[in-house]
Structure 1
Amino acid sequence: MEVSPEASSLAQGLRLVRLVADREKQGRQLLGVSQLAAELDMEQSRVSRLAQELCDLELLEREERGPFRVGRRFFALARTLNRSWVQESRAELEELVAGFGLRSRLSVRDGVRVLLLRSSSNNAALGGFAKPGMVTPVWCTGAGRALLWDHGTAELDTLLKDVNFIGVGGPAAAHSTAEVNQLMDRDRSTGYILATEEYEHDVWELAVPVRSPKGDIVASLSVLGSRLDAGRSIDEVADALQSASKRLGSSIGSPD
């Protein structure tokens, strides 16, 4: 089937926006026209025209002839697409705080990294250094391992093949893909992830995946603390997390 020029331009424009957004998100050097053309293996004149059209749409922006970054409309579009569940997560996070006094987080996966989307209001408590946009490893955090819930042995091997485990995480962190797989098998039997001192000393993280109505894992919901509140059990907190994750997942993809 022949691809129309409009469809081709759209695909190339999306690749361009994706590259600019990914580099900015990862804190890497921003690129100009010639560098973008080289990265995308496209003609420089083509990249220049597409980039200008995207700037006109305010999906990209640049100062004078400097490097490109994502524009105002890009963030407006992202807010529109995420409004039905990421915004709703705030209430769920605060409900967990009210119920258990524990820090809570909503996270997503970017390859072998976990990106924090939103954290609870008590995140400024002792040890609560996390801010939205913070990046942590996927293999030695509760939030990260919850995002790996559906990964089998072969998928874990492929994902973590280039990871350097040495010197990362807390005293109970996994030091190989095999150890990650063992931890996943252990936690799947309980229905939740319990990562104790896997990333930070004296900190445990309880986490569950958030699934879309189609069953795909799109995020993880977690709570962190140094100890459970008096009278609270791990299972009680896990039940509350599961209920919150189901409510969030049911709103993914729903109309505003």
Structure 2
Amino acid sequence: MNKQAGPATGDGTVGKALEVLDRVAAVGRPVRFTELLADSTHPKATLYRLLQTLVSQGMLAYDDTAQTYSLGIRLVRLAHAAWRQSSIAPIARPFVSALSEEAGETVHLAQLDSGQVLYVDKRNPSNAIDMFSQAGKVGPAYCTGVGKALMAFLEPSDLDHVLRKQSFYAYTPETLNTEAKLRADLDKIRQEGVAFDREEHEPGIICIAAPILNSKGRPIGALSVTTSTQRKSLDELMSIRPALLETATKIAAAVEDWQFPA
């Protein structure tokens, strides 16, 4: 029996094609047609047609031998263009690199994206530690240092909107898994100017983070210095606070005339 198409979203063929792209990207490896069809809302013929169009446009690549689809080179070029044009990363990179060298720890640069944290750059020292975040990855805002630093300085109405998008899933025993707990922490962050990840997203991973604010006090990004509990304590991370805040201020000044999407 043919599958029934999902409810119309108003985005037409473009929206359907983007859904397929998202699905291929989410798998994280080359994927077969049968795998995509298994949880697709589109009929077999529609899915095949969308895949063929994406391949012909270079958004997907098809391996004849393995009979698998993967993200195409055109999509990579578009991603790099977006990184240059709508991210603070290219401007911030020298400052991020300098902070990573000074601190001897991993430094993340992030922005808010639809209520989540989008990591736009990551600089590792020579003794990097393994963790979830990578440039291009999306993570939860409510249990990451950069996410909380960003949320703490949003306008009240914007904060309400972002909070409605949080899952408050308890990743660890330290996760702030209710809105009330998070709001209390955000109040403290506004007072102190820095946020902490106290093993709230990953066991053993801690960080100190600061918002990057424009001249109107609007957060345009956030910066964090991340380490493991085997290397440093939260108190020891506090020693990095002056350098972290100085770096955030330098980045804000460098991007002051840059225009970013809302």
TM > 0.5 fold call: yes
In 2, Cα distance between equivalents of 1:202 and 1:35: 38
In 1, Cα distance between equivalents of 2:47 and 2:218: 34
> Structure 2 vs 1, CA of residues 155 and 214 (structure 1 numbering), >3 Å: closer, same or farther?
same
1:76-91 aligned at under 5 Å gives the runs 76-84=77-85, 85-91=88-94
Structure 1 position 158 matched with structure 2 position 160: no
| Gaps in structure 2 of 5+ consecutive residues | 1-10
Q: What amino acid sits opposite 2:168 in the alignment?
A: V
1:100-249 aligned at under 5 Å gives the runs 100-109=103-112, 114-122=117-125, 124-125=126-127, 127=129, 129=131, 131-133=134-136, 136-149=139-152, 150=154, 152=156, 154-160=160-166, 162-165=167-170, 168-169=171-172, 171=174, 173-199=175-201, 200-201=203-204, 203-209=206-212, 219-225=221-227, 226=232, 232=239, 234-248=241-255
In 1, Cα distance between equivalents of 2:198 and 2:207: 4
In 2, Cα distance between equivalents of 1:132 and 1:180: 25
Superposed displacement of residue 140, structure 1: 1.6
Match of 1:52 in 2: 52
Superposed displacement of residue 155, structure 1: 2.7
Cα pair 2:208 2:237 within 8 Å, conserved: no
Q: What RMSD over aligned residues (CA atoms) do the two structures have, in Å?
A: 4.1
In 1, Cα distance between equivalents of 2:255 and 2:38: 37
What do residues 74-116 of structure 1 show as CA deviations (whole Å, max 9, x unaligned)? Answer: 1112212322543343312112124444421123456665443
Which secondary structure state, in structure 1, belongs to the residue aligned with residue 89 of structure 2?
coil
TM-score by length of 1: 0.68
> Where in structure 1 do 4 or more consecutive aligned residues deviate above 6 Å?
213-216, 228-231
Match of 2:4 in 1: none
State the identity as a percent: 17
In 1, Cα distance between equivalents of 2:238 and 2:163: 40
Cα pair 1:205 1:222 within 8 Å, conserved: yes
Superposed displacement of residue 234, structure 1: 2.4
Cα pair 1:170 1:201 within 8 Å, conserved: no
Superposed displacement of residue 181, structure 1: 1.2
| Gaps in structure 1 of 5+ consecutive residues | 1-10
Match of 1:15 in 2: 15
- The number of residue pairs the alignment matches comes to 236
Which secondary structure state, in structure 1, belongs to the residue aligned with residue 165 of structure 2?
helix
> Structure 2 vs 1, CA of residues 54 and 154 (structure 1 numbering), >3 Å: closer, same or farther?
same
TM-score by length of 2: 0.67
Q: What amino acid sits opposite 1:222 in the alignment?
A: S
In 1, Cα distance between equivalents of 2:253 and 2:24: 32
